[in-house]
Amino acid sequence: MHELGITRSIVEIAERHAREQGAVRVISLTVQIGALSGVIAEAVEFAFEVCAQDSLLEGARLIIDAVPGRGRCRACGAESAMDRFTYACPHCDALALDCIQGEELRILELEVD
Amino acid sequence: MCIDCGCGPTDHHHHHHDHSHDHDHSHAQGKRTLRIEEDILAKNNRLAGNNRALFGAKGLFVLNLVSSPGSGKTSILERTLRDLAGNIAFAVLEGDQQTDQDAARIAATGVPVHQINTGAGCHLDAHMVGHGIEHFDLDALDILMIENVGNLVCPAAFDLGEDHKVAVLSVTEGEDKPIKYPNMFHAADLLLINKIDLLPYLDFDLDKCKAFARQVKPDIEILEVSCKSGAGMEGWYAWLAQGVSRKKT
C-alpha cells in the first residue's frame, strides 16, 4: 500500500504550489498515473480524502489522467500497447520492447481559488 | 536536523524543486489553473540522488535486496558476510516493519548493522536510507547491503540510491512470481533463485522461472544458489567482487 505515501506526496506538492501562488483552497487537481508506474489509481483515490484533511486540498476533486502503456520494438520498430511489463513484441516475438509511455507519475495541474 | 531533507524537530521546510519559476507571484485572488507538471516521486528521487552521489564519492558498492517475506534474504546475507569476512568490508541496513530480529542475526556475524523499522510502511525510502547510513563509517566500507522490507510490490517504486536492486526468489514460492509481480523483477538487475537444494522435493520449473523473469526484464542476470548448502554461492561472490572493483576504479 505504497499509494498512501504517494498520496501524501501528492497533497504535499500540491499544497506547496497552491501556497506559493497565494491560493486559499484547491478546487481540483489532475494527476497523471501510467499503467506501468506501479501505482493503483483506485488506491490513490481511496487515500486522497484522508490525506487531504486539514490541508488546502480538503474537499478538492481528484482527477486521474490514466496513461496507457506503449512500447516500441528495437528489432522491428513496431509500436504496440504495453499495459503490463512484457518485453515480447506482439509483431515479431523478439524480447525487445522499450517502454515509451506508461511510467508517468506526475501532478499536471491545480485549479485553485 | 538534516540539511538535505529539511526534517527535524523544527520541521523547517526547504523548498527544493526543479520546476521553473516563470509563474506569477502576484497572489491575485480568484479561480485559476496552475500548470505544475511535477513528478510525484521527485522528493524521494532527489534524496536518492544525494545518496547515490555520496556512495559514488566513497567508492561504495550498494545493493538493495528485495523479495517476498521468507525468501531467505537474511540467510543469504549471513552466509555471505561470514564467507567473505576479511576480504570485503560490509555494512547492512535492515528494513522491517517491526522488531530488530534480523539486525541481531547480522550483528552476530560481526558486521556493522542498523535496523530501520518502517512501522506501517511497506518499503524503505531514500530518506530513511540517508539517515540510516549516518550510523556507519562509509570510508571503511566496500559494500553496503540494504535489506528491504519483504514485499514484492512497493519497494519497486522507490529508488534508494543503490547501484542495483537484487531480487531474491526461493523455489518454494512458485516459478510464476516474476510475471505476477513484474514491476519488481523489472526493476532488478540480478535475480538470485534461492533454496535450490530443495528442488528434488518440489515441482518448481527452473527454466520456466528464468523465462518468466526474462519476459519482464530481458537482460536480467540470474544466479541459482542455496545459502544452506552453499551451492552456487561462489557465483554470487564473484558478482559482488566485480561490483566492488568497478566502484573502486
Q: Which of residues 82-111 of A touch B (CB under 8 A)?
A: 84-88, 95-96, 105-111
- What's the confidence (pLDDT) of residue B60? 98
Q: Is the predicted pLDDT of residue B26 greater than 80, yes or no?
A: no
Q: Is the predicted pLDDT of residue B25 greater than 60, yes or no?
A: no
Partners of A108 on chain B (C-beta within 8 Å) are: 35-37
Distance CA B57, CA A39 (A): 33
Mean pLDDT over all residues of chain B?
90
Burial group, residue A43, by CB count within 10 angstroms (0-12, 13-18, 19+): middle
Q: Report, as an integer, the average pLDDT of B149-162.
A: 94
Q: Report, as an integer, the average pLDDT of B129-139.
A: 97
pTM, two decimals, is 0.86
Q: How far is B39 from chain A (nearest CA, A)?
A: 4
Distance CA B159, CA B49 (A): 9
Considering only CB atoms, B40 lies closest to which of A1, A6, A88, namely A6
Interface contact flag, A105 B39, Cβ < 8 Å: yes
- Coil, helix or strand at residue B106: helix
What's the pLDDT band for B10 if we cut at 50, 70, 90?
A: very low
Interface contact flag, A109 B36, Cβ < 8 Å: yes
Using a CB–CB cutoff of 8 Å, tell me whether A39 touches chain B: yes
- What's the confidence (pLDDT) of residue B13? 39
- For residues B8 and B10, the model is more confident at B8
Q: Report, as an integer, the average pLDDT of B55-76.
A: 97
- What's the confidence (pLDDT) of residue B15? 40
Percent of chain A with pLDDT over 70: 99
Q: Report, as an integer, the average pLDDT of A79-108.
A: 90
CB pairs under 8 A between A and B: 107
Using a CB–CB cutoff of 8 Å, tell me whether B129 touches chain A: no
- What's the confidence (pLDDT) of residue B58? 97
Cell 522491428 -> residue: A76
- What's the confidence (pLDDT) of residue A88? 86
Query: How far is residue B217 from each of residues A30, B138, B178, B239, measured CA to CA in Å?
Result: 31, 32, 9, 19
Percent of chain A with pLDDT over 90: 80
What's the pLDDT band for A96 if we cut at 50, 70, 90?
A: confident
Q: Is the predicted pLDDT of residue B1 greater than 60, yes or no?
A: no
Kindly identify which residue of chain A lies nearest to residue B26, measuring between CA atoms: A21
Distance CA A97, CA A36 (A): 13
Q: How far is A100 from chain B (nearest CA, A)?
A: 15
What's the pLDDT band for B23 if we cut at 50, 70, 90?
A: low
- What's the confidence (pLDDT) of residue B11? 41
Q: Which residues contact B107 (CB under 8 A, 6 or more apart)?
A: B113
Please name the residue ranges forming H helices in B88-167.
Answer: 101-107, 126-132
Q: A47-80, pLDDT tens digit by residue?
A: 999 999 999 999 999 999 999 999 999 999 999 9
Q: B186-232, pLDDT tens digit by residue?
A: 999 999 999 999 999 999 999 999 999 999 999 999 999 999 999 99
Q: Report, as an integer, the average pLDDT of B35-63.
A: 96
Q: Is the predicted pLDDT of residue A104 greater than 70, yes or no?
A: yes
Considering only CB atoms, A113 lies closest to which of B31, B125, B214, namely B31
